[in-house]
Amino acid sequence: MTIKRFDGRKLDEIRKMSAKVGVVPNADGSAMFSFGDTIAIAAVYGPKKMHPLHMQNPKKGTLRFTYNMLSFSVTDRIRPGPSRRGTEIGKISEWAIDPVLMIDKYPNNVVDVHVNILQANASTRCAGINAGALALAHAGITMKDMVSSVSIGKLDKDLVVDLSKKEEDFEEGEGATDIPMTFTNNGKLTHIQLDGNIKTEQLKEAVKLARKACKEVYEVQKKALKESIK
């Protein structure tokens, strides 16, 4: 028997996505990306000279990605300011985007990406990566490709696309497994994490499912960028 999702979605259905660029006028590039009730905004500042000087790399530029949740973005308030979780997510997002960025074009410089979660209902890191990549493209930072991110979940025995908070907390049967992944548009995996339990064969299926879903995400990103230059 296959599982029925709480919000009535099909197993491979992503929540309603929306994307927009240019949401922070001060920034060199900016974007908003949402999966249903999960909303991320991103701003890019740079390329600019790296300070402190000893961190400058004469061979290539540096990408710096920060991830932060607004205190009221979740039901139980989180203390404002940096957290261990946020620091780690910032780093994995950086690794997820770095492969498509032609950062060697900007020696001695740094490109800052700041992602903030305005409203959270799971998959915030995926929304953050999608917004961040969009903001970088909007800032005109040279990129070889786009990256798109989505989370695949396993609820009991079934694979579903784009977990919501309620699904993340699912406890029946084998419980919930959360597998956020990021793909470049030409199909390279740049980020994967996993929490839960899953067999190798099914994980392979999950990767395939993510690849397919990321294509949908990519279309939304592409549309947002095209709309900005109309």
Partner 1 sequence: MKTSKLTGDRIKEYLALGKRFDGRKLDEFREITIETGVSKNAEGSARVKMGKTEVIVGIKMNASTPYPDSPDKGNLMVTAELLPLSSSRFELGPPKIESIELARVLDRAIRESKFIELEKLCIKKGEKVWTVFIDIYSINADGNLLDAAGLGIVAALKNSKIPKYDKEKEEVLYGNWSDEKLPLKKEVPLSITIYKIGENLIIDPTQEEEDINDARVTIGSHKGVISSMQKGNSGELSEEEMYNILDMTEKVWKDLFSSMEKYLK
Record the tokens describing residue 230, joined without a space: 């109309």
* Minimum gap (Å) between residue 80 Cβ and partner 1: 5
What are the start-end ranges of the H helices in 104-199? 124-138, 165-168
Which of 134, 181 has the CB closer to partner 1? 134
User: Which of residues 4, 16, 49, 77 is near partner 1 by CB under 8 A?
Assistant: 77
| Using rule CB under 8 A, residue 119 touches partner 1 | yes
Nearer to partner 1, 54 or 59 (CB): 54
CB of 73 to partner 1, least distance (A): 6
Shortest CB 48 distance to partner 1, Å: 8
Interaction of residue 112 with partner 1, rule CB under 8 A: yes
Shortest distance in whole angstroms from residue 112 CB to partner 1:
7
Q: What gap in Å lies between CA 190 and CA 172, rounded to an integer?
A: 31
Amino acid present at 175: G
Check binding of 129 to partner 1 (CB under 8 A): no
Pick one of 15, 114, 138, 191: the residue that binds partner 1 (CB under 8 A): 114
Cα distances (angstroms) measured from residue 161 to each of 51, 56, 77, 184: 41, 40, 27, 18
**DSSP 8-state secondary structure symbol assigned to residue 73:** S
CB of 145 within 8 A of CB of 167?
no
Nearer to partner 1, 64 or 211 (CB): 64
**Residue with Cβ nearer partner 1 (116 or 149):** 116
Which segment (80-88, 146-154, 186-194, 204-212) binds partner 1 by CB under 8 A? 80-88
Q: Is residue 73 involved in binding partner 1 (CB under 8 A)?
A: yes
What does each C-alpha distance from 103 to 60, 142, 148, 204, 213 come to in angstroms? 6, 8, 19, 31, 27
Cβ at position 205, least distance to partner 1 in Å: 32
Cα 101 to Cα 60, 86, 94, 134, 212, distances in angstroms: 11, 22, 10, 12, 22
Give CA–CA dist 181/214, Å, rounded.
Answer: 9
DSSP 49: E
Taking CB under 8 A as the criterion, the residue among 8, 52, 58, 81 binding partner 1 is: 81
Element (H, E) at 87: helix 84-97
Q: Is the Cβ of residue 112 or residue 178 nearer to partner 1 in the bound state?
A: 112
Provide the binding-site residues for partner 1, judged by CB under 8 A: 23-27, 30, 37, 39, 41-43, 45, 48, 66, 68, 70-77, 80-82, 112, 114-116, 118-121
